[in-house]
Structure 1
Amino acid sequence: MKKFSLPGPRGLAFDCVTRSLDGGADAQAVLDDALSSSDLDQRDRGFVTEILYGYLRMRIRLQTVLNCFLSNPDGLPAPVLRVLGMASYEIMHMDVPAYASVDWGVDSAKRLSRGKLGGLANAVLRKVARLAEDGADEDFFRRQTQGDVEYLSAYYSCPEWIVELWLDSYGREKAEMYLDAQICPPAAGFVLNTKDKEARKAALTLMEENDFIESDGQAFAFYSGYRPQVFKELPKEVFARQSYAAREALSVLEPVKWAVPVWDACAGRGGKLRFLNSKGVSPIIASDPHLRRLSALKRETPSISAFRASAINPPLAYSSIGTALLDVPCSGLGVLSRRPDTKFKRTPDDVASLIRLQSKILENSWKTVRSGGRMAYITCTLNPAENEVQIASFLKKHKDAKLVKEWTTPPESELREFFYSALIEKN
Structure 2
Amino acid sequence: MRSWVLEALIEVICHGQYSNLYLKHHLKECPSKDRALATHIFYGTLQNYGYLNYCVNQYVKKKIPNRVRILLLMSVYQLFFLDKVPAYAIVNEAVTLTKIKNPSLSGLVNAFLHRVKQKDILLPDQEEEALSILYSVPSWLVYMWKAQYGIQQTKTMLSWTQQILPIYVRRNALCSTIEDFENSMFTSIQDDLYIYHGNDVAAHPYYQQGKMSIQDIGSYEIACFVDAKPGMHVLDTCAAPGTKTMAMAERMKDTGQIVSVDLHAHRVQLIENDAKRLHLQIVKALCKDARDLENLGLFDRVLCDVPCSGYGILARKPDIRLRMKPEDMDALIPLQQDILERGSLHVKENGILVYSTCTINKKENEKQIQSFLKKHTDFVLLEEKTIFPNKGQDGFYMAKLEKQQDSLL
| TM-score bracket, shorter-length normalisation | 0.7 to 0.9
Q: Among residues 3, 22, 33, which one is paired with 1:43 in the alignment? A: 33
User: What's 2:6 paired with?
Assistant: 14
Cα displacement (A) at 1:145 = 2.0
- Specify whether residues 277 and 232 from structure 1 end up closer, same or farther in structure 2 by C-alpha distance, changes over 3 A only: closer
- Work out whether 1:297 is the aligned partner of 2:257: no
TM-score of the aligned structures, taking structure 2 as reference length: 0.87
- Specify whether residues 288 and 393 from structure 1 end up closer, same or farther in structure 2 by C-alpha distance, changes over 3 A only: same
In 2, are the aligned partners of 1:221 and 1:415 still within 8 Å (CA)?
A: no
Cα displacement (A) at 1:65 = 2.3
Q: Distance in 2 between matches of 1:32 and 1:273?
A: 21
What do residues 105-140 of structure 1 show as CA deviations (whole Å, max 9, x unaligned)?
A: 223334444x33222211110012xx26xxx4xxx6
Q: Distance in 2 between matches of 1:410 and 1:122?
A: 41
What do residues 76-120 of structure 1 show as CA deviations (whole Å, max 9, x unaligned)?
A: 33322111111111222223221222123223334444x332222
Q: Distance in 2 between matches of 1:162 and 1:265?
A: 28
Q: Distance in 1 between matches of 2:7 and 2:293?
A: 39
Q: Among residues 20, 42, 57, which one is paired with 1:28 in the alignment? A: 20
In 2, are the aligned partners of 1:291 and 1:308 still within 8 Å (CA)?
A: yes
Q: Among residues 65, 75, 83, which one is paired with 1:77 in the alignment? A: 65
Aligned partner letter, 1:100: A
Percent identical residues: 28
- Work out whether 1:347 is the aligned partner of 2:319: no
User: What's 1:420 paired with?
Assistant: 397
Q: Distance in 2 between matches of 1:150 and 1:420?
A: 27
User: What's 2:234 paired with?
Assistant: 262
In 2, are the aligned partners of 1:374 and 1:426 still within 8 Å (CA)?
A: yes
Cα displacement (A) at 1:286 = 1.1
User: What's 2:375 paired with?
Assistant: 397
What SS class does the counterpart of residue 398 from structure 2 fall into? strand
What SS class does the counterpart of residue 353 from structure 2 fall into? strand
User: What's 1:314 paired with?
Assistant: 293
Q: Distance in 2 between matches of 1:235 and 1:368?
A: 34
User: What's 1:363 paired with?
Assistant: 341
More deviation, 26-35/340-349: 26-35
Q: Among residues 188, 198, 212, which one is paired with 1:239 in the alignment? A: 212
What SS class does the counterpart of residue 15 from structure 2 fall into? coil
Aligned partner letter, 1:81: R
Runs of 4+ off more than 4 Å:
209-212, 231-236
Cα displacement (A) at 1:144 = 2.8
Equivalent pairs counted in the alignment come to 392
Task: Note the residue ranges of structure 1 that are not aligned, 5 or more in a row.
Answer: 1-8
User: What's 2:110 paired with?
Assistant: 122
Q: Distance in 2 between matches of 1:179 and 1:87?
A: 23
- Specify whether residues 364 and 195 from structure 1 end up closer, same or farther in structure 2 by C-alpha distance, changes over 3 A only: closer
Task: Note the residue ranges of structure 2 that are not aligned, 5 or more in a row.
Answer: 405-409
Cα displacement (A) at 1:406 = 0.5
What do residues 39-91 of structure 1 show as CA deviations (whole Å, max 9, x unaligned)?
A: x3212333332221110011122223223322x25x23332211111111122
Q: Among residues 85, 89, 99, which one is paired with 1:100 in the alignment? A: 89
In 2, are the aligned partners of 1:288 and 1:309 still within 8 Å (CA)?
A: yes
Cα displacement (A) at 1:350 = 0.7
